[in-house]
Each structure stands twice: as C-alpha cells, then as structure tokens.
Structure 1
Amino acid sequence: MKIKMLTSLAGDDFALSPGDETDRFADDEAGRLIEAGFAAPAIEDKIERAVKKPAAEKRD
C-alpha cells in the first residue's frame, strides 16, 4: 500500500519527511502507521486528457 507521510520517520536504512510517498512498508505496517496518524493513504491523481471527437460524417 502506498502511503503519504504526515510526520518524519527514520530507521536504519531510510528517512522519510512529511509529504514523502512510499510503498516500502507491508500493508499491515502501513495500516498501523495510518491508524497512528503518522501517514495517510496516498491518492493518485487522475489526469484528465483531452480526446478529440471524430468528425461528423457528411453525406452528399
């Protein structure tokens, strides 16, 4: 599960700052960080893309 950190958190081989997004934790550990208020689920923004509509068919 990808999470977004709300607070700083560091370990032996990592350091995370508020706003960092990571998927380094297993789902159960990520859930505990969210419940404790250290992180929030990362929400991926949907990118809207313009789609050109096909031209209307013209008959003579």
Structure 2
Amino acid sequence: MRIKMLVGLAGNEYSLSPGDERDFPQNEAIRLIDAGYALPIAKKETERAVAQPTVERRTKKGKPDVVSAEGNDATD
C-alpha cells in the first residue's frame, strides 16, 4: 500500500521525510496511518508520457558578424 509520510521515519531500509511517498506492506501501512504518521495515497490510473515534438532551430552558418575594414578612413 502506498502512503505519504506526515513525519520523518527511518528504518534499516529507508529514511523518509515528511511528504515522502513509499510502498509498505498492507499491515504496516495501516499501522502508520492509524498512528497518525502517514496518509493513504489513492491509486492513480497509469499515465503515459507523450513526447512533445521538438522544433528544429537552425542557426546561421559561415562567417561571424564582423565589421569590415573596407571604406574605413581611420587607418589613413
């Protein structure tokens, strides 16, 4: 059974903080819920991830933008 912790809890196989979710055996989960340490998590239907199409971004190839020395009278 999946539960959401309301308090911190640590054991030999886990260390949980408030807000963490974890699967526990049914009897252990019920004991933690009854003690006020956790809340049950409702089972969700399986969600499928759908990949968003990526937009191809093209950049200019070739010479970078530079200022030409031609027509510049500063070097005379």
TM-score range, shorter chain: 0.5 to 0.7
Q: Does 1:37 align with 2:28?
A: no
Larger CA Rg, structure 1 vs 2: 2
Bigger RCO (CA 8 Å, 6+ sep): 1
Q: 1:22, CA displacement in angstroms?
A: 0.3
Name segments (4+ residues, structure 1) moved above 6 Å: none
RMSD across aligned C-alpha pairs, in angstroms? 1.5
Letter in 2 for 1:5: M
Runs of 5+ in structure 2 lacking a partner? 46-76
Q: Deviations over 1:34-55 (max 9, x none)?
A: 0000000013567xxxxxxxxx
Query: Which residue in the other structure is 2:26 paired with?
Result: 27
Runs of 5+ in structure 1 lacking a partner? 47-60
How many residues align structurally?
Answer: 45
Q: Kindly, what percent of the aligned residue pairs are identical?
A: 56
For normalisation by structure 2, the TM-score amounts to 0.53
